[in-house]
């Protein structure tokens, strides 16, 4: 009986291991059989609930991301993020619609501050510092000299976001 029980338990645990590995790879379609009423059956039920919940949350996140992408494209909005530790600005997709195309041979857009009209630069720097120091919303309207030669008004909005694990701050 001991050998039979060991074989049966090992088979069920291997199925749990396969399901865990499947979920780790992003595959949520492997339903585990819930045989019996023991700890392994309860673990299988928990795994099934977890994979369904993960699948649902990922689907909702993908739908939300699609809606956000469509709104950004329709509104001529550009997502951006400033790494405050490195003082580096990273532009999101669609920046060329707002700032104009990059000149030939260039691979990165210049920092926004260099594009801001001289009369608006201090206002932008003050708004940024207030947001960083006080945790307030970053809000500023400035004129920029676009790369295609035209001058355009930008309405800049953002806030400071801190990484819970590291405490590092970003302006988004």
- Per residue in 145-154, pLDDT tens? 888 888 999 9
State what percent of residues in the chain have pLDDT above 90. Answer: 20
- Model confidence pTM above 0.75: no
- Per residue in 35-93, pLDDT tens? 788 888 888 888 889 889 989 999 999 999 999 888 888 877 888 888 888 888 888 88
pLDDT at 58: 92
143 band by pLDDT with thresholds 50, 70 and 90:
very high
107 band by pLDDT with thresholds 50, 70 and 90:
low
Residue 134 has pLDDT above 80, yes or no: yes
Long-range interactions of 106-109: CB distance < 8 A, separation 24+: 109/147
* Other C-beta atoms lying within 10 Å of the C-beta of residue 91: 16
Residue 141 has pLDDT above 90, yes or no: yes
Mark 12-47 as b/e (b = at least 16 C-beta within 10 Å): beebeeebeebbeeeebeeebebeeeeebeebbeeb
Average pLDDT of the residues of the chain: 85
24 band by pLDDT with thresholds 50, 70 and 90:
confident
């Amino acid at each position: 009986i001991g050998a039979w029980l060991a074989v049966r338990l090992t088979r069920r645990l291997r199925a749990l291991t396969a399901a865990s590995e499947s979920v780790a790879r992003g595959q949520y379609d492997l339903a585990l059989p819930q045989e019996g009423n023991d700890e392994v059956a309860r673990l299988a039920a928990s795994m099934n609930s977890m994979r369904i919940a993960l699948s649902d949350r990922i689907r909702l996140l993908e739908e939300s991301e699609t809606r956000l992408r469509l709104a950004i494209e329709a509104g001529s909005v550009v997502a951006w993020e400033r790494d405050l530790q490195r003082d580096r600005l990273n532009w999101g997709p669609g920046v060329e619609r707002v700032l104009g195309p990059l000149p030939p041979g260039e691979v990165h857009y210049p920092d926004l501050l260099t594009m801001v009209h001289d009369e608006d630069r201090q206002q932008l720097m003050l708004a940024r510092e207030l947001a960083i120091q006080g945790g307030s919303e970053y809000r500023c309207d400035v004129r920029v000299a676009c790369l295609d030669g035209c001058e355009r008004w930008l309405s800049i909005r953002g806030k400071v976001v801190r990484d819970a694990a590291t405490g590092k701050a970003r302006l988004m």
